[in-house]
Chain A
Amino acid sequence: MNIIKTNRTRSLRARSMAEGAMRIVFIAAACACILCVALICAFLLANGVPAIAKIGPLSFLTGTRWKPGQNIYGTAPMIIGSLYVTAGAVAVGVPIGVLTAMYLARFAGRRSYRVISPVVSLMAGIPSVVYGFFGMVALVPIVRAWFGGGKSVLTAALLLGVMILPTVIRVSEAAIRAVPDHYYEGALALGASHERGVFFVVLPAAKSGVMAAVVLGIGRAIGETMAVIMVAGNQALIPHSILDGVRTLTANIALEMGYAADLHREALIGCAVVLFVFILLINLLLSAVQRRRA
């Protein structure tokens, strides 16, 4: 009896030790992503901020000339370029995406849903280089023939608009589906048609989820690199019309990082800091939107 008891307490102690040890392992693993974010912030800030200080924050952010050869680093063309292209992508992608989400959630029959839903998933999986290549060989000639400016803000906005579709569709579809059925039924009972019920009752009820979809789409558009490089022309100049070429912050980094040195390299990291700030703002916006939903 006694022996059994000591054996049992020993095994219990071993077990609780294993429990404790593994608990620490789990916590350590979970902290890895905190470490990653901290490292990314530290490396970007440590390399980028001194460069911005050296160039002068004002001339770095508002300078309109980017001439690494002459040590002139004004990022205004790229910041404005990123904003233009992102705004264009939102203008193209959000209406189509939200309407498609409404179709999938409330209009599609079982059979058409089975066709369109996998297509949307496939769109989400297609690599951005494939989009970029398609844009280069198909979209650029079409835009040139119809409007005159082949590699331009317009082309990049169209392509990015298509690229953010799956994000916008999936998130807003989930939001529209999450609206309780009695909202829609109430609308019908008051005499609304199916369409009016979906547009004027269900959609407003799903507003914050749809907003989250838009914000996520913005995040994808502003961060996209390769596809934009292949269709936007990449001139480091402020575009004066939507048919002018444009260079985004992301393109600037990807194009020049390979051969940049010294202050040039640090100025590019400064560009990444600006991009990172944009992303943090977008994340803040997203969590504000989501908090309103809760």
Chain B
Amino acid sequence: MSVMNASNKSKRRVDWVSLLLRALVYAAAAATTLSALGMIGFILVKGVPHITAPLFAWRYTSDNVSLTPALINTALMTALALAIAAPLGILSAVYLAEYARRGNRLVKVIRMASETLAGVPSIVFGLFGFLFFVIALKWGLSMLAGGFTLAIMILPLIMRTAEEAMLAVPDLYREGSFGLGAGRLRTVFRIVLPAASPGILAGIILSIGRVIGESAALILTAGTAAKSSASLMKSGRTMAVHMYALSNEGLHIDETYATAVVLIVLVALINALSSWAAKRAEAAMTGGADE
């Protein structure tokens, strides 16, 4: 028995191609992980020691380069962009998922438009926002112009995720609702939207992440004023723009690292939230399908 095994082993040649392929795959996975962790680690190591109280001072001065005003502006900008894009995106998704018939020409045009919008680079959104909101509508460099520009930018993302969430709701739910005498509208608002809400939420959280990370579009539309903006018609910079301004000046490198740390922590939080919501959405749908 053992002799047979040994002879089998000696007959079998080592498959170099397989080994090479395996090495390639593992090396690539390692490269991806290391480049990400290397970057994050580098910024954490350089930045965490410089997270100090003055960095969070209420008022920005050119000495403390406080990020609190930028943080407030980021929250404001996110709220503004979502207030416009979320209702619009969810209502369009209702049309696409619940009302539109298959092969409808309007649906094709809508899908083409949202795909085009999803592929447009942020600098082009910025340029458009600058030409339309800032100049044509005479809003000036303002939070409002920035919010509208970002709303257009995140609209396709919200539309797509909301539509997917609604399509994932089992037809049983709708049939049950129709069977009880509810109309289409009531079914949408009472049955489909609540069932799809975790998935819709995951999409909204993803788009919050995009708003937080955006800089190119905002520099052209909301400007780079460092103070917390007193009104929506004033210029104000978000965290990402703040960080770009700091690194561009090059005078406060330590504080720039610290600001980068805060940004990374924000993004990590958003990611954790989003995957939590997505997991809940999945659990809700599979739980429903079992019945």
A, B bound: yes
Whether A19 and B124, one on each chain, are in contact in the complex, defined by CB atoms closer than 8 angstroms, is no
The smallest C-beta distance from B180 to any residue of chain A, in angstroms, reads 14
The A interface is mostly helix, strand or loop, or mixed, namely helix
Q: Find A196's partner among B17, B131, B271 (CB 8 Å cutoff).
A: B17
The smallest C-beta distance from B246 to any residue of chain A, in angstroms, reads 9
Chain A interface size, under 10 / 10 to 19 / 20 to 34 / 35 or more: 35 or more
Any chain A CB within 8 A of the CB of B260? yes
What are the residues of chain A within 8 A of B120 when measuring CB–CB? Answer: 40, 223, 276, 279
Whether A43 and B29, one on each chain, are in contact in the complex, defined by CB atoms closer than 8 angstroms, is no
Known A108-B29, A254-B123, A254-B216: A280·B116 in contact at CB below 8 Å: yes
Whether B159 and A33, one on each chain, are in contact in the complex, defined by CB atoms closer than 8 angstroms, is yes
Interface locus among A22-30, A52-60, A73-81, A237-245: A22-30
**Which partner residue on chain B sits nearest A101 by CB separation?**
B28
Any chain B CB within 8 A of the CB of A213? no
Any chain B CB within 8 A of the CB of A206? no
Distance in angstroms between the alpha carbons of A11 and B96 in the assembled complex: 28
Distance in angstroms between the alpha carbons of A77 and B275 in the assembled complex: 42
Q: Find A95's partner among B28, B109, B220 (CB 8 Å cutoff).
A: B28
Interface locus among B50-58, B86-94, B193-201, B227-235: B86-94
Whether B212 and A127, one on each chain, are in contact in the complex, defined by CB atoms closer than 8 angstroms, is yes
Distance in angstroms between the alpha carbons of A196 and B270 in the assembled complex: 39
Chain B interface size, under 10 / 10 to 19 / 20 to 34 / 35 or more: 35 or more
Whether A123 and B36, one on each chain, are in contact in the complex, defined by CB atoms closer than 8 angstroms, is yes
Interface locus among B18-26, B75-83, B167-175, B281-289: B18-26
Q: Mark A196-231, 1 if CB is under 8 A from B, else 0.
A: 101100000000000000000001001111100010
The smallest C-beta distance from A94 to any residue of chain B, in angstroms, reads 11
Whether A15 and B183, one on each chain, are in contact in the complex, defined by CB atoms closer than 8 angstroms, is yes
Whether B114 and A33, one on each chain, are in contact in the complex, defined by CB atoms closer than 8 angstroms, is yes
Give the residue among B96, B123, B159 with the most A Cβ atoms within 10 A.
B123
The smallest C-beta distance from B12 to any residue of chain A, in angstroms, reads 11
**Which partner residue on chain A sits nearest B31 by CB separation?**
A96
B-side residues, CB < 8 A to A, are: 15, 17-19, 21-22, 24-29, 31-33, 35-37, 39-40, 42-43, 46, 87-88, 91-92, 94-96, 99-100, 106, 109-110, 113-117, 119-128, 130-132, 136, 152, 155-156, 159, 183-185, 209, 212-216, 219-220, 240-241, 243-244, 247, 253, 256, 260, 263-264, 267-268, 270-271, 275
Given A125-B268, A129-B213: 7 more A-B contacts, CB < 8 Å = A25-B91, A26-B92, A125-B209, A195-B25, A254-B219, A268-B127, A279-B124
